[in-house]
Amino acid sequence: MGEILIKKVGQNKLLAASGFAWLFDAMDVGMLSFVIAAVAPQWHLTSVQMGWIGSVSSIGMAVGAVLFGALADRFGRKDILILTLLIFSVGSGLSALATSYLIFIIIRFIVGMGLGGELPVASTLVSESVDVEERGRIVVLLESFWAGGWLIAAVISYFVIPRWSWRVALIGASLTALYAFYLRYSIHDSLNEVRQEAKQRPGFVQRVKAIWRPENAKSTLMLWIVWFMVVFSYYGMFLWLPSVMVLKGYSVVNSFGYVLIMTLAQLPGYFVAAWLIERWGRKTVLALFLAGTAISALGFGNAAGLPMLLTTGILLSFFNLGAWGTLYAYSPEQYTASVRGTGTGFAAGVGRLGGIVGPLLVGQLIAQKVSLTLIFGIFFGAILIAVIAILVLGQETMGKVLDRTTAPQR
């Protein structure tokens, strides 16, 4: 009994420690959507330039996901997690000092690298460290910290940016770098990091080849399609939410407040997905929540008045973030330990390519006076493609035992 209790405490400690790193990641991404709306009039940005801010961040996230995912297989999850946290925290502070649009997007690329690397590494670490009966639920709960980060970003943006400017908000976000020191001593690594063993692990090229071997190819193809479509739609919609509300005629302050209300629905979305994932399975829950996202996106694009905008925006947050949590639980379960970080990192990296296209596409379409109905109709179609890929190519992984290294952890 005591042994089970100790194990449970350690599991919860890992969830909390990794979760707060995830929360800070989300806080930065969420704050960026409000910063874009704030800097646009200050720097006289066009809609295309606004789109590039989000897309440059996604380019960095794509590079970071692939690079740090591979490094996590080589040198261990924990140290790479700490490194990525430091990169995006320090970078966030530096971006607050940017004096021009060009300098700002260069720094945002570096911030994106840290953000993109932290997410797949953290989910892989947690997946490998908890019991199979609770793995899906725990990883979705890990993802729920993302909603907490968005909520904090929305609150900070609503109260701080209009009063003290976006620079103050970003400097405050950079203080998350201090959390790296806590992580260094609070969590253990699921992958043994003894240096002698590092030489025995497969090299980068071998690991990339391995995720496309016959036993992995179907899962890899499915993940790449789903990740691309999910990230494409998420960043295309959510990074533009405050700006879309402004385009619909609401003031910046009111728009920030309405987006804050929509953001509140993210937490119940995660919790419902966490409850269902060990009952209905990953494949069913992911397909169901993505289908809900697609329908909500179509409703938001066609919404005319404020009540309908808020209702469909709330449903969009609920279903989309529940799907995100399930996807992060589902992805590491596709691979063996030796390529798990690489496989998950590459899938997330391909997804970030969608994150590049999404914000840019919205900016271009808005510049061309394309209706929001059509824009959100595009996201509806993209998410349906992801649903089809899951149903056709996906395999159920609920109850699957993940292999780990057998050497003792340090």
Instruction: For residue 402, tell me if it sits in a domain.
Output: no
Which CATH number does the domain housing residue 25 bear? 1.20.1250.20
Instruction: For residue 405, tell me if it sits in a domain.
Output: no
pLDDT for 80 beyond 90:
no
**Cα–Cα distance measured from residue 30 to residue 16, given in angstroms and rounded to the nearest whole number:** 20
pLDDT for 140 beyond 50:
yes
Instruction: For residue 296, tell me if it sits in a domain.
Output: yes
The tokens describing 164, both together, are 């003290």
Instruction: For residue 306, tell me if it sits in a domain.
Output: yes
Are 337 and 404 within 8 A, CB to CB? Answer: yes
Instruction: For residue 407, tell me if it sits in a domain.
Output: no
Number of domains in the chain: 1
Q: Which residue range(s) make up the domain with 21? A: 2-184+203-393
**Cα–Cα distance measured from residue 174 to residue 31, given in angstroms and rounded to the nearest whole number:** 12
Instruction: For residue 410, tell me if it sits in a domain.
Output: no
Structure confidence by residue, pLDDT tens digits, 190-209: 444 433 444 456 677 787 78
| pLDDT for res 382 | 95
- Structure pTM? 0.72
Which residues, in sequence order, are CB contacts of 54 under 8 Å at separation 6+? 32, 33, 36, 235, 239, 240, 355, 358, 359, 360
User: Confidence band (pLDDT; 50, 70, 90) for 355?
Assistant: confident
Tell which residue, 244, 302, 293, 265, has the closest CA to residue 34. Answer: 244
**Cα–Cα distance measured from residue 88 to residue 176, given in angstroms and rounded to the nearest whole number:** 9
pLDDT for 76 beyond 90:
no
Instruction: For residue 189, tell me if it sits in a domain.
Output: no
User: Confidence band (pLDDT; 50, 70, 90) for 300?
Assistant: confident
Instruction: For residue 345, tell me if it sits in a domain.
Output: yes
Lowest mean pLDDT among 156-170, 194-208, 309-323: 194-208
Q: How many residues can be counted in the chain?
A: 410
